[in-house]
Chain A
């Protein structure tokens, strides 16, 4: 049994990828005992013991590296933790920074490098897109209302107003654009990005890079139905050759290591890169379901084994997310609160 810790087990209306990853691991050939890492005692995954064998509360990454490391070492001591698969944006920089130290303690992972992680900044997209031969929506970095006005005069409404790492709001009027500029600047700082809205199909590709320019499989999809929070509810597999080639070029150009997702808009023959996520997306189970068990392959890579690389999949497979209910005892909650684990 490989003891593998997975975070992002917050399967709520804006779900983390954790449970999808765990379902993939459980369906793989490597026997696993999944350990859930949670940032709140109410994260649903804690209560799903058919998926999550043991659950531990974590300190926030913002509270410092030492508490975080100590907590992982405690879990290692209690559970014999061997691998960790982090799945949340906020914790990734810590795991990346700690990777070699954790590895020295016998906790393996398979993550992008610091330099690769930095590519997700919106002001780096241009350079990435150019290198892999696709476009990006025209994007202007602004730091003042004056620059915002100049940018707006070059673009036509609606426009996207975006933070460097997080948050994207669609503005239909100059007043809205200004309001979003202020709110994003206040929350995420400067520069704020003003981006043209490109009409087209929103398509995504997920994969795991091998760190040497190759990969352990790719899957491209189109989201058919998204929730009001912008989260996928149904989707379908596609075999858009341009998109898959762009993903392969991306992996090759940067020797990407670990999980990634590219968010792209396809407009006829043109592809526009909108976002790079240096981790699995919440719909990662889709890949498992069509026979490309990326979580398992990532686990194998972390363990130093040679994962499978085949990634034939049919277009037209459907993904349906659904809600479920569970009734359980307050006791689990009590244990999480008083002991921090169950």
Chain B
């Protein structure tokens, strides 16, 4: 998985050692990224977000999917 190669700082700074690209993520973005890396599914992640933050599961799921779209656009994620 491409996500595994990323260097992720706790401040939300992401460095891709293969392409040299850098990214930033916010707090929830960091959580989603780590969860994806740990192999969790979007709905599992949405539920975890909803547990911790002021957000409903369906809304969180929509946002996680949007986040995945961004990862795809950056070629950091491919459909398995």
Report which A residues bind B (CB closer than 8 A). Answer: 330, 333-334, 337-339
Task: List residues of chain A with CB within 8 A of the CB of B12.
Answer: 338
Give 1 or 0 for each of B1-21: 1 = CB within 8 Å of chain A CB: 000000001011101000000
Please name all residues of chain A whose beta carbon is closer than 8 Å to the beta carbon of B15 when the two chains form the complex. 330, 334
* Cβ of A30 to closest chain B Cβ, rounded Å: 36
Q: Are B22 and A338 in contact (CB under 8 A)?
A: no
B24 within 8 A of A: yes
In the complex, what residues of B have CB within 8 A of residue A333's CB? 22
Query: Which residues from B are CB-within-8-Å of A330?
Result: 15, 22
User: In the complex, what residues of B have CB within 8 A of residue A338's CB?
Assistant: 9, 11-13, 24
**Residue with the highest number of chain A CB atoms closer than 10 Å, among B12, B13, B15, B22:** B13
> Once the chains are docked, how many angstroms separate the CA of A338 from the CA of B12?
7
**Which residues on the B side are within 8 Å of A337 (C-beta)?**
13, 22, 24
Chain B at the A interface: mostly helix, strand, loop or mixed? Answer: strand
| Shortest distance between the CB of B44 and any CB in chain A (Å) | 27
Q: A123: shortest Cβ distance to chain B, in Å?
A: 44
A-B pair number, CB within 8 angstroms: 17
Q: Which of B22-72 touch A at CB < 8 Å?
A: 22, 24
- Shortest beta-carbon contacts, A-B, top 9: A338-B11, A334-B13, A338-B13, A337-B24, A338-B12, A337-B13, A334-B9, A338-B24, A330-B15
Distance, CA A29 to CA B15, complexed state (A): 43
Minimum Cβ distance to chain A for residue B29 (Å): 12
Residue of B nearest to A334 (CB): B13
B11 to A339, Cβ gap below 8 A? yes
Closest to A41 in B: B22
Q: Once the chains are docked, how many angstroms separate the CA of A333 from the CA of B21? A: 12
Task: Give complex CA distance A170, B54 in Å.
Answer: 60
| Docked pose: A337 CA to B12 CA in angstroms | 10
B11 and chain A: residue at smallest CB distance:
A338
CB nearest to B25 among chain A residues? A338
User: How distant is the Cα of A47 from the Cα of B23 in the complex, in angstroms?
Assistant: 20
Complex CA gap A339/B9 in Å reads 13
| Least CB separation from B9: chain A residue | A334
A-B contacts besides A330-B22, A338-B9, A338-B13, 12 pairs, CB < 8 Å? A333-B22, A334-B9, A334-B11, A334-B13, A334-B15, A334-B22, A337-B13, A337-B22, A337-B24, A338-B12, A338-B24, A339-B11
Complex-state Cα separation, A337 to B25, whole angstroms: 11
Distance in angstroms between the alpha carbons of A249 and B11 in the assembled complex: 55
A-B contact list, 17 entries, CB within 8 Å:
A330-B15, A330-B22, A333-B22, A334-B9, A334-B11, A334-B13, A334-B15, A334-B22, A337-B13, A337-B22, A337-B24, A338-B9, A338-B11, A338-B12, A338-B13, A338-B24, A339-B11
* Distance in angstroms between the alpha carbons of A245 and B22 in the assembled complex: 53
CA distance A21 to B13 in the complex (A): 32
Q: Determine the residue in chain B with the shortest Cβ distance to A339.
A: B11
With both beta carbons as reference points, the residue of chain A lying nearest to B24 in the complex is identified as A337
Which chain A residue shows the least CB distance to B20?
Answer: A330
Kindly state the separation between the CA atoms of A277 and B24 in the bound complex, as whole angstroms: 38
Q: Which single residue of chain A is at the shortest CB-CB distance from B12?
A: A338
Considering the chains assembled together, what is the distance between the CA atoms of A308 and B15 in angstroms?
50
Report chain A residues within 8 Å CB of B22. 330, 333-334, 337
CA distance A152 to B66 in the complex (A): 57
